[in-house]
Amino acid sequence: MIHTIVFKDDRLSLLDQRKLPLAEEYFECKTYKDVEFAIRDMVVRGAPAIGIAAGYGAYLAALEFVNSDDFDKEMEKALDILNKSRPTAVNLMWAVDKMKKLLEDNKDRSNEEKAKLIKKLAIDIEKLEEEMSLDMSKNGAELVKKGDTILTHCNTGSLATSGLGTALGVIKYAHEEGKDIKVYADETRPRLQGARLTAYELDKEKIPFKLISDSVAATLIRDGKIDFIVVGADRIAKNGDTANKIGTFMLSIVAKEYKVPFYIAAPSSTIDFDIETGKEIEIEERDESEVTEIEGVRIAPHGIQVYNPAFDVTPYQNITGIITEKKVYFQENGEFNLE
Ligand code: MRU
């Protein structure tokens, strides 16, 4: 399996996803600020993976401040900085909140003891994500029929998690079970997570697939070439509205129009029980160069205006089911009950 996040001997290395698939290089994080940079610049990306990285970032901060008289204050500052590295994927805030609660509950312990507890929690978060990933993949694979052709968007595999993946985990599990599946992978403009990362994973796993540009998906769906669509999530609201990579919403509309099952696969750490609907989800806007350039080569005229949201929100009405590690949630009386 691909190791996206490697934590060994108190050192954190992240497989540099900006360089894949052409180079497999690790980015060394020496401080929590390196982790903050790695999340913001998408060295590491994908909702569960950035939560895990933030957990280790907290531990690097604890090592940095272990001799400080202001340990708690320094940690609070560091956790806030990590928390703001990207705004949409709630797994990041989920991991940071766990760290904050741990410090709150252990106020009276020594700095060394707190650092040890933070390390343990960071490792536990990674393990938990790995377990959830496996259970979700199993649950999702049960929905896949022999010979299905599956469409997916963005990258949701081992590169985006600490295990098999979310949507791509479902695909890998179904393949492992011998379901004889075929996959279409959207290239996923503008960052090309599909072309660069999903294609890399599917190729390594020897799962039959074709890479398509995003605009091909509607034609394939209309022509009856897709049996099943599964994508990941960056944040799911209580009512099931789901923020995921830009382009997901459009895909869901076409799926609904042509009655193709459209599933979200995500661990419970991606469900934000503090928000009622997707309207409350902050959508990250990224640099215009992601649209005006490809691999550093300018493709659009200079001086133009660009709108570059990284995610969109798919309304729950367009979602057939939400696959988690616990079960597959279906709408009952037109509503999801995720609790
Ligand atoms: O901008 P990214 O690459 O971090 O976006 C990733 C996605 O949108 C994934 O679909 C989502 O995080 C689920 S990953 C298991």
Q: Rounded mean pLDDT of 41-53? A: 98
Q: Does ligand 1 come within 6 angstroms of the Cβ of 47?
A: yes
**Which residue has its alpha carbon closest to ligand 1 atom 5?**
46
Cα distance between residue 115 and residue 95, in whole Å = 16
pLDDT tens by residue, 160-194: 999 999 999 999 999 999 999 999 999 999 999 99
Residues in the chain: 339
Cα(63) to centroid of ligand 1, in Å? Answer: 29
Of 118, 284, 266, which Cα lies nearest the Cα of 190? 284
Q: Provide the percentage of residues in the chain whose pLDDT is more than 90.
A: 99
Q: Measured between alpha carbons, how far is 277 from 282 in angstroms, rounded to an integer?
A: 12
234 is catalytic: yes
Separation of CA 283 and ligand 1 centre (Å): 13
pLDDT in tens, 123-169: 999 999 999 999 999 999 999 999 999 999 999 999 999 999 999 99
Whether the CB-CB separation of 122 and 107 falls below 8 Å is answered with no
Q: What is the pLDDT of residues 8-21, one digit of tens each?
A: 999 999 999 999 99
Contact at 8 Å (CB) between 276 and 241?
no
Gap from CA of 112 to ligand 1 centroid (Å):
35
Residue 31: DSSP 8-state = S
3-state secondary structure 210-272: EEECHHHHHHHHHCCCCCEEEECCCEEECCCCEEEECCHHHHHHHHHHCCCCEEEECCHHHEE
**Would you say the CB of residue 156 lies under 6 angstroms from ligand 1?**
yes
The CA distance from 299 to 182, in Å, is 33
Q: Is 193 touching ligand 1 by the criterion CB < 6 Å?
A: yes
Tens digits of residue pLDDT in 232-262: 999 999 999 999 999 999 999 999 999 999 9
Is the N-terminal amide bond of 208 cis, ω within 30° of 0?
Answer: no
Please report the pLDDT score of residue 254 as a whole number.
98
What pLDDT, on the 0 to 100 scale, is given for residue 339?
Answer: 82
CATH numbers and ranges of domains, the chain = 5-134 (1.20.120.420), 137-330 (3.40.50.10470)
Closest alpha carbon to 36 in 79, 2, 71, 1 = 79
In the predicted model, is pLDDT for residue 87 greater than 80? yes
Instruction: Look over the chain and give the mean of its residue pLDDT values, rounded to a whole number.
Output: 97
Q: Is 92 in the pocket of ligand 1 (CB under 6 A)?
A: no
State if residue 251 touches ligand 1 by the CB under 6 angstroms criterion.
Answer: no
Residue (of 68, 69, 49, 72) closest to 118 by Cα position: 72
Residue 279's pLDDT band, with cuts at 50, 70 and 90, is very high
- Token digits for 331? 């709408």
